[in-house]
Amino acid sequence: MSNRPVKSPSRSYLRPQSSQPFGGNHHYGNVIGGDSIRPLTPQPVREMGSGVGSHRLSKARRVLIIACTLLGFFFSSLDAAIVATSMVSISDELQEFMNAPWIILAYLLSYMGFAVFLSRLSDICGRRDVLLGSWMIFLCFSFACARASTMLQLIIFRAFQGIGGSGLYSLAQITLTEYGPVTKPQLVGAMIGFTLAISLVLGPIIGGLISHKSDWRWIFDLNAPFSAAAMIMIAMAWPSREDRGAHASVRYSWNSVKRIDFLGCATLLCACCLLIVGVQQAASARYHWSDSVIIAILALSALSGIVFIIWQVSLNSGSCRDIKPIFPVNLLRNRVFTSTIVVTLLTGFTYLGLMVIVPERFQIIHGDNPLFAGLKLLPLLGSCTLGSFVAAAASKKTNNTSPTLVVSAGLQLLGTGLTTIISKPDSSTAALYGFQVIIGFGIGLCFSAATISVSIQVLREDLATGHGVISQARLLGGCLGISICTVILNFHNNKYLLGKLDEGQMHDLLTNPTRLSGWDSDYDKALTREVYAMAFVEEVKVMMYICAAMLAVSFFGLERHPLPMSTLTDHQMPDPALVGQGDKESPVRASHSSTWTELSDLQPLARPRQLSRLRASTDGLPI
């Protein structure tokens, strides 16, 4: 046997394209380490729910946790889409269409800006408390949105509602990974993708139905009974304080508060939100790109981003060990993780952009009511649901998430490219339905595969941050998509309609474009519809270019030897601080776990020449 030291089989050794350690399995140090081979050491496995007093977390309680988590994920996503088909009705009552996109953007900005922060906060304060707080914020400001009397009030309340929605959205992905089905961990991605797709299927339909048959305020009042029920379910099912072990005085002590990265949260929030605000305002009739206000907003966004990067690098280098960085920069060294995040961001651009411009086309150009405009999104959203299940099935036994993301990007590129042929107001809508199916299927593949991929690639202690990042990336892309589409539409209105329509007609376009059906001049109506059709094509062309970039990026995530799907099971044996809110004995999975770390677990991951070294160096090892 050679006397040369054997490397510890970290992920950087076995898989040179990534510098991350193995996702969650920390037993390898007991197999091979330093200059010698040490005997395998049995690792004690705690049983599910073996908290203080050896209380078991029953199957019923576990199911309730999953149910209320999915319910929160559903309603947080539903409220992002439910107003897509109701914006015209809302702006008609509140008499302001120009700022109507902010009904969605205000929610999405806070929804996006707090995703990473709340995920990281749950590592310190506990999943249960942050989830309950998120439900409470979501409930209170949903009630406030329903009672808004001006557009400004509604936008402000939607921003605060988005903070609660952000917690429900990001914590759902973490909790499902930790409490999800052990025997079929790939179902976590399917559940998340399916719930997201269903919420976005029902959102425009419910919003259109309520706006058409009743008062749009019921869109927000609808959240109240479900929010109350979910909070009761969490209080009943989640492990009690005795199970969690850590008293509130410990979890909310000054030492715990000091660990929160407030500067990182503030700079990340400013960088993302000011970017969207700057782009959106530059598209309005009030400002232009060259205005000093817009330049100042965008410059401040860039400055905040630079400060965020410098601060995170400083924290991760260990300069201030008391603060837990909101974003571990070492995650960016993982090529697969970085590629997945970029693909997710660009998919969000396409998805939420289409969620807005497709109903607008049917309402403004074809004269449909909100309900029928929402129903015509069904091909996109239904195929998205199907794609989520197909992506999960593709990785049932083998990790095929990276090839799935390549296929996802290719389908989105194909679908958006075909959609650009619908360039006239009287173009066939039947073709648009078929193209929506192609795009939606690709988007669904991305939703599910990206969730599974992030769960596999990140370490157990970075699981919350990883899912927070993917949530924020998806929403940031969506906000950019909506903003860029608004820029394109306003550019076409100013270029082709300003000066050709009278002041009253331009006011109608700014407050409620569907009023053009009541104009006296057929020429003006035809011209306006032609301009909106041109804007629609240009918006889809931008999405096509985005999808082309997405396809190129997705190839960087391909792996020769991908990590196994069993890595997901490792995440279901979490550290005490992550699931148990600081408990000494956290709920973990006893099933599908061995008390011995076997060298055979390493073999599928090692390259052939590395594997031969491992075998040669472990002759006689008692396995």
Residue where the block lists tokens 């946790």: 65
Q: What is the pLDDT at residue 584? A: 39
> Measured between alpha carbons, how far apart are the two ends of the chain, in Å?
18
Compute the half-sphere exposure of residue 263: CA atoms within 13 Å on the CB side of its CA: 16
Q: Are residues 82 and 167 in the same domain?
A: yes
Q: Is residue 380 a contact partner of residue 354, using CB atoms and an 8 Å limit?
A: yes
Token pair recorded at residue 109 = 């900005």
Measured between alpha carbons, how far is 218 from 89 in angstroms, rounded to an integer? 13
Kindly report each contact of residues 285-293 with a partner whose C-beta sits within 8 Å and lies 24 or more positions away, as own/partner.
Answer: 285/98, 285/490, 285/494, 285/510
Interatomic CA distance for residues 31 and 38, integer angstroms = 6
Which DSSP string corresponds to 393-452? HHTSSS--HHHHHHHHHHHHHHHHHHHTT--STTS-HHHHHHHHHHHHHHHHHHHHHHHH
Can you list the residues of the chain whose pLDDT is less than 70? 1-57, 180-186, 189, 240-257, 283-285, 319, 511, 566-623
Amino acid at 154: L
Angle between helices 522-555 and 463-496 in degrees, nearest 10? 150
* Residue 7 included in any domain: no
pTM over 0.85: no
Quick one: three-class SS letters along 307-321? Answer: HHHHHHHHHHCCCCC
- Residue 454 is predicted with a pLDDT of 83
The SS3 call for residue 355 is helix
213 vs 372: CA distance, rounded Å? 12
Q: Is the dihedral of CA 413, 418, 421, 424 positive or negative?
A: negative
Residue after which a domain boundary falls, among 540, 555, 570: 555
Instruction: Give the pLDDT confidence score for residue 423 in this predicted structure.
Output: 80
Say how far apart CA 589 and CA 46 lie, in whole Å: 7
- pLDDT tens readout for residues 77-96: 888 778 877 777 787 788 77
- Number of helices and strands in the chain (H, E): 26, 2
* The two three-digit tokens of residue 552, written as one number: 């190129």
6 located within any domain: no
Question: Over the range 165-202, which residues count as b (16 or more CB within 10 Å of their CB) and which as e?
Answer: bbbbbbbbbbbbbbbbebeebbbbbbbbbbbbbbbbbb
Same structural domain, 372 and 343: yes
Tokens, residue 388: 């989520």
Predicted local confidence at residue 50, as pLDDT: 32
Instruction: Say how far apart CA 7 and CA 613 lie, in whole Å.
Output: 10
Regarding whether 359 and 312 lie in a shared domain, the answer is no
Which residues touch 149 (CB under 8 Å, ≥6 apart)?
none
Rounded distance, CA 467 to CA 327, Å? Answer: 11
Q: Does some domain include residue 46?
A: no
Instruction: Determine, yes or no, domain membership for 193.
Output: yes
Residue 49 in domain = no
Structure tokens at 407: 């296929």
Please give the Cα distance from 162 to 169 (Å, whole number): 10
- CA dist., res. 503 & res. 236, Å (int): 59
Are 361 and 417 found together in one domain?
A: yes
pLDDT at 314: 87
CA–CA distance, 114 with 166 (Å, rounded to integer): 6
Q: What gap in Å lies between CA 514 and CA 75, rounded to an integer?
A: 29
466 and 520, same domain (yes or no): yes
Identify the pLDDT of residue 17: 41
Q: Within this chain, do residues 391 and 268 fall inside the same structural domain, yes or no?
A: no
| pLDDT reported for residue 587 | 37
Q: Which residue range is the domain that position 402 belongs to?
A: 60-245+324-555
Does the residue 207 lie in any domain? Answer: yes
Number of domains in the chain: 2
Report how far residue 554's alpha carbon sits from residue 455's, in angstroms, rounded to the nearest whole number: 17
Q: Which two tokens stand for residue 107?
A: 């929610």
CA distance 198 to 557: 28
Running DSSP on this structure, what letter comes out for residue 498? B
Do 163 and 220 lie in one domain? The reply is: yes
**CA torsion 364→365→370→375, rounded to 10°?**
-150
User: 317 with 330, same domain?
Assistant: no
- The pLDDT value recorded for residue 478 is 84
Query: Last residue of some domain: 555, 582, 598?
Result: 555
Q: Return the CA Rg of the chain.
A: 25
CATH code at position 534: 1.20.1250.20
CA distance 368 to 360: 9
As a whole number of angstroms, the distance between CA 519 and CA 525 comes to 7
For residue 36, the SS3 value is: strand
The domain boundary, picked from 323, 344, 374, lies at 323
Same domain for 72 and 103? yes
Question: 310 with 335, same domain?
Answer: no
14 occurs within a structural domain? no
Verify that 266 and 219 share a domain, yes or no. Answer: no
SS (H, E, C) 258-326: HCCCHHHHHHHHHHHHHHHHHHHHHCCCCCCCCCHHHHHHHHHHHHHHHHHHHHHHHHHCCCCCCCCCC
Whether residue 65 lies inside any domain: the answer is yes
Element (DSSP H or E) covering residue 4: none
Q: Clarify whether residues 226 and 278 are in a common domain.
A: no
